[in-house]
Amino acid sequence: MSSTGYFSYSMRTVVHCAPGSLIRLPSLFEGLGGKRVVLLSDPGLKAVGLVDQVVEVFANMASGNSPQLVGVFPEIGADAACQTVNAALAYTRSVAADAILAVGGGSVMDAAKGVKYALHHKLADIREALQGGIKLESWPKARPINIPHIAVPTTAGTGAEVSAAAVFFNEEAGIKCNLAAPFIEADIAVLDAKVTLGLPAGLTASTGMDALTHALEAVASPTANHFTDAHAFAAAQLIEQNLPLAVENGQNLEARNSMIQASTMAINAFLGSLNAIPVHNCAHAFGALFHIPHGDANAVLLPIVMETLPELYLPSAERLARALNMSTGNLQDQALLDAVVERIREFQRQVGCATTFSRWQVNAEQLEPVDQAIASDPAALFYPIPADKIREIALKAIG
């Protein structure tokens, strides 16, 4: 719980949730006042036909006064690289779009936020806003952005559709940069579980572990509060129950629907209690250096970081166990935390996610830049990890 008694909690994005809700996109943009919509997505979703499905929704609803889809930019790659964000920004300007539709995973969601922020601030290069690797803005200095913006997540992981934060890969500096500013999040998030049915089992597992990491870091946060607890506990418990079902049967619509809601709730809890996030701290570093997808990085690091930093997690051991639907029995303190870590490892095996970084060919000779990246990541400002613990985590993670 909050040690100061003061906290702020915001969920500005309106959620529309139902299987098949994709059909509502044109009318939702009309309600927001959007006239000329640009669609941002990724090559994979273009290849499987989802981008064309969205285009067809607009074509079928076309009328004289309805919002028009004036352009499609399906080129957002993994990590939302600044160069790609800039290309999407230039394209958005070239088609004179006044509204943004993001359809995809976390990278697409973050790229859309970068485009929106750059349009609002009249930037040509998103890197102008990311000097030093991080840009933090707060209300009332940050003002509303009058650009209609809808997000349709295609994975149940990042929750980026409702978060006022984005992560970009600055390929020039070789680091992941953070932008946190009110109003960059979508005005509306359309949670349509049907668009996640085709997600492969491996990607379902890794993105689900990303969501679980958000929920558990919120549970263990020193500034957790009743509002964040409501979403963190519900999200973690739903993930524990439904992620194995979604991995086992990708067409299980009920499990997919629960997962996409859990993902959205988890990020709300994570950002509403933002404080010590050492799992994300380490994941950012490994991801930037070795291009490890964020969900996989969190999946590997979650139990490793928890067992290596007991001083942070011991006070929350009972809360973490409850979040994972565990029966604690007579276990207390270190024994209970050990049981929580073992349950997460069992869960890793159950869903088949990565447990080490061996597939990315990270070895001990490469750990010095890893140490530096973890220590210098913006997330380390919240909870600096001691150097010996950084090396211990890294050695365990490379297997």
Number of helices and strands in the chain (H, E): 15, 9
> Which CATH number belongs to the domain containing residue 223 in this structure?
1.20.1090.10
**What is the model's pLDDT at position 4?**
61
Q: Of 163, 191, 219, which marks where a domain is finished?
A: 191
pLDDT (0 to 100) of residue 88: 98
Same domain? For 251 and 139 the reply is: no
The answer to whether residue 11 sits within a structural domain is no
Domains held by the chain: number: 2
pLDDT at 208: 98
Listed residues 191, 223, 257: the one ending a domain: 191
Sheet strands (E) in 10-128: 14-17, 36-40, 68-73, 99-104
Residue 14 forms part of a structural domain:
no
Within-domain flag for 12: no
Give the Cα separation of 167 and 126 in Å (integer). 11
Distance from C-alpha of 246 to C-alpha of 252, rounded to nearest angstrom? 6
Picking from 155, 171, 191, the residue at the C-terminal end of a domain is 191
Per-residue model confidence (pLDDT) at position 380? 92
In a domain, 252, yes or no: yes
Q: What is the CATH number of the domain that holds 130?
A: 3.40.50.1970
Asked whether residue 58 falls in the same domain as residue 100, the answer is yes
Residue 61 has a pLDDT of 81
Residues 185 and 246 in one domain: no
Does residue 253 sit in the same domain as residue 212? Answer: yes
Tens-of-pLDDT digits for all 399 residues of the chain?
555 678 888 889 999 999 999 999 999 999 999 999 999 999 999 999 999 999 999 998 877 788 999 999 999 998 899 999 999 999 999 999 999 999 999 999 999 999 999 999 999 999 999 987 788 888 888 899 999 999 999 999 999 999 999 989 888 888 888 899 999 999 999 999 999 998 999 999 999 999 999 999 999 999 999 999 999 999 999 999 999 999 999 999 999 999 999 999 999 999 999 999 999 999 999 998 998 999 999 999 999 999 999 999 999 999 999 999 999 888 999 999 999 999 999 999 999 999 999 999 998 888 999 999 999 988 898 999 999 999 999 999 998
| CA gap 223, 7 in Å, rounded | 8
Residues 213 and 158 in one domain: no
Query: Is residue 4 in a domain?
Result: no
pLDDT of residue 2: 54
Domain carrying residue 123: 21-191
Evaluated on CA atoms 359, 365, 367, 373, the torsion sign reads negative
pLDDT value of residue 294: 92
Residue 305 and residue 279 in contact, taking contact as beta carbons nearer than 8 Å: yes
| One domain, residues 339 and 214 | yes
Quote the pLDDT of residue 241: 98
pLDDT for position 3? 58
CA distance 208 to 5: 32
Short-list 378, 374, 38, CA closest to 388: 374
Same structural domain, 48 and 141: yes
